A and B are shown apart, each in its own frame.
Chain A
Amino acid sequence: KAGVTQTPRYLIKTRGQQVTLSCSPISGHRSVSWYQQTPGQGLQFLFEYFSETQRNKGNFPGRFSGRQFSNSRSEMNVSTLELGDSALYLCASTGNRGVNTEAFFGQGTRLTVV
């Protein structure tokens, strides 16, 4: 069974640009969550999608958005990039609606904003 796939693995963007990151969950998983990891703030929850609906959102500005497609694949978008958006963005998928199941993480997309 294939794991969680995130593309691309590495990305370099310029301040002010926008970026779209992609996440393909494990087959059959309907919940996809996104996290930002930085040395200063650690791992922070961005948002979670289930069956194309955003169920929960973290404390990030509106420049961070996401969506989920009918095949459960998810994308997150960051507009008007700032230097502080440089981070490892991790996607996780889980198998059902419950919170008592394991979240499977992808290898992440490392975004560098210059």
Chain B
Amino acid sequence: AQSVTQLDSQVPVFEEAPVELRCNYSSSVSVYLFWYVQYPNQGLQLLLKYLSGSTLVKGINGFEAEFNKSQTSFHLRKPSVHISDTAEYFCAVNPNTGFQKLVFGTGTRLLVSP
């Protein structure tokens, strides 16, 4: 079975500061990795995904993530956050089993203050 751990339930940060949201996963099969963002009363929007190739993945809104196979991690980073980045962020894996089934972490609430 697959599982995703997001250790930080909430991350407060000041505007223009850098931020890292941590994600670790466990799986007995190869997986594809995703980060989604959810704004209040909205669905999920894809920030970025890792399928294969370069371990550094760039996404929308200036976010990037690095896949580390040995540490089974996929941490999300942004060098300078904006107030508008305040939202809930979810890390997810999709096991390479042929079916579409995302396994999500518990989410990290990013709170950006001025």
Interface residues of A (CB under 8 A from B): 4, 31, 33, 35, 42-45, 48, 50, 55-56, 58, 90, 92, 94, 97, 99-100, 102-108, 110
In the complex, what's the smallest C-beta–C-beta distance from B9 to chain A, in angstroms? Answer: 11
Interface presence of B114 (CB below 8 A): no
In this complex, the interface size class of chain B, counting residues with CB under 8 Å from chain A, is 20 to 34
Interface presence of B42 (CB below 8 A): yes
Are A33 and B51 in contact, CB atoms less than 8 angstroms apart? Answer: no
The stretch among B10-18, B19-27, B65-73, B92-100 that forms the contact with chain A is: B92-100
* Given A42-B104, A42-B106, A102 contacting B46 (CB threshold 8 A): yes
In the complex, what's the smallest C-beta–C-beta distance from A52 to chain B, in angstroms? Answer: 15
Closest to A43 in B: B104
In the bound complex, residues from chain B placing their C-beta under 8 Å from that of A35 are 102, 104
Complex formed: what's the CA distance from A50 to B101 in Å? Answer: 12
